[in-house]
């Protein structure tokens, strides 16, 4: 998890919540409201521009056994495509780019329905997702497909064996040297994307008058002595974690984020800047597929 400090004495507090702590909504004055009805209770919160955001886990009582398939589809869309999410806070999630709807997902009791172009899919579990993935690949315009350079792991596996892309992170010093004005949005966008979504961690909204500029010194400092990925891969005799292939169940990755984890209703820009840099396992999957294709 991130340890984040800000200039101007601003701190992005991400801490484990004890049983006696107040919820983040009580601590920060963030107003949660509940939408009650046939879809059970779902907790939402709102962005400054009025968008409804909902942690995906709130949909689990409605989707039941189809929830893992929904999470996988959501992560797939965010990782491979660039689209703004329009979420009604009830049962309809659409993905749009350049004013055109690309995908519509309608939630039902124990199932969900996906509409792509002139095709409709009823999804009850992950077994039907391959057809959806094929339709996405065939239908989504090239301009809305994520550039491949954002999907690949850092080529220097001795420095970044884990799949992180610090060079894409708004908070890294390397990024800040070229885009100082960007990092002042890190704390707010981090809250928009992850608030209520990371188990055991409170991601609070920074005070409006103390946003500050977030800068990370990088996880490869001090000769990587704190990097569990480098230590583990070297102990096992691998160049990187993709060669090992156990990263989906490995304890080193127990706290890693994934694309389908973040709040419903986020924009393509927010995904690109606050989700894509940290998609470690998805990136390693691509690297491992490359190894398999080349007999590595």
| pTM for this entry | 0.80
The span from the first CA to the last CA of the chain, in angstroms, equals 31
Q: Binning pLDDT at 50, 70 and 90, where does residue 181 land?
A: low
| Per-residue pLDDT tens over the stretch 100-139 | 999 999 999 999 999 999 999 999 999 999 999 999 999 9
Query: Residues near 79 by Cβ (< 8 Å), separated by ≥ 6?
Result: 146, 151, 259, 276, 279, 282
Judge whether residue 69 has pLDDT over 70. Answer: yes
pLDDT at 137: 96
pLDDT at 13: 32
Judge whether residue 251 has pLDDT over 50. Answer: yes
Query: Residues near 66 by Cβ (< 8 Å), separated by ≥ 6?
Result: 110, 111, 112, 123, 124, 125
| Per-residue pLDDT tens over the stretch 19-54 | 233 333 333 333 333 344 445 589 999 999 999 999
* Alpha helix positions (H), 115-164: 129-139, 148-151
Please check whether residue 227 is in contact with residue 33, taking contact to mean a CB–CB distance below 8 angstroms.
no
Q: Determine the average pLDDT of the residues in 218-231.
A: 66
pLDDT at 79: 97
Q: What residue segments make up the domains of the chain, in order of their start?
A: 25-142, 151-296
Phi first, then psi, for residue 109 (nearest 5°) are -75, 105
Q: Binning pLDDT at 50, 70 and 90, where does residue 291 land?
A: low
């Amino acid at each position: 998890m991130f340890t984040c400090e800000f200039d101007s004495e601003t701190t992005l507090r991400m801490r484990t919540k004890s049983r006696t702590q107040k919820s983040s909504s009580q601590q920060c004055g963030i107003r949660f409201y509940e939408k009650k009805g046939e879809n059970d209770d779902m907790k939402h919160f709102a962005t400054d521009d009025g968008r409804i955001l909902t942690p995906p886990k709130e949909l689990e009582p409605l989707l039941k056994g189809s929830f893992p398939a929904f999470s996988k589809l959501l992560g797939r869309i965010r990782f491979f495509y660039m689209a703004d999410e329009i979420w009604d806070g009830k049962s309809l999630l659409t993905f749009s780019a350049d004013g055109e709807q690309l995908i519509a997902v309608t939630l039902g009791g124990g199932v969900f329905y996906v509409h792509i172009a002139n095709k409709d899919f009823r999804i009850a579990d992950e077994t039907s997702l391959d057809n959806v993935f094929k339709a996405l690949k065939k239908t989504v315009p090239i301009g809305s497909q994520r550039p491949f350079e954002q999907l690949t792991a850092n080529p220097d596996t001795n420095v970044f064996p884990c799949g992180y892309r610090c060079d894409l992170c708004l908070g890294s010093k390397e990024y800040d040297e070229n885009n100082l004005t960007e990092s002042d949005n890190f704390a707010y966008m981090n809250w928009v994307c992850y608030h209520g979504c990371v188990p055991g961690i409170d991601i609070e909204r920074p005070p409006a008058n103390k946003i500050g500029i977030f800068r990370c010194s990088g996880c490869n400092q001090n000769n990587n002595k704190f990097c569990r990925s480098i230590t583990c891969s070297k102990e096992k005799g691998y160049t990187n974690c993709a060669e090992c292939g156990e990263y989906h169940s490995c304890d080193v990755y127990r706290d890693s984020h994934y694309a389908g984890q973040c709040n419903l209703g986020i924009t393509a820009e927010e995904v690109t800047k606050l989700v894509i840099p940290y998609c470690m396992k998805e990136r390693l999957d691509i690297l491992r597929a490359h190894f398999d294709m080349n007999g590595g």
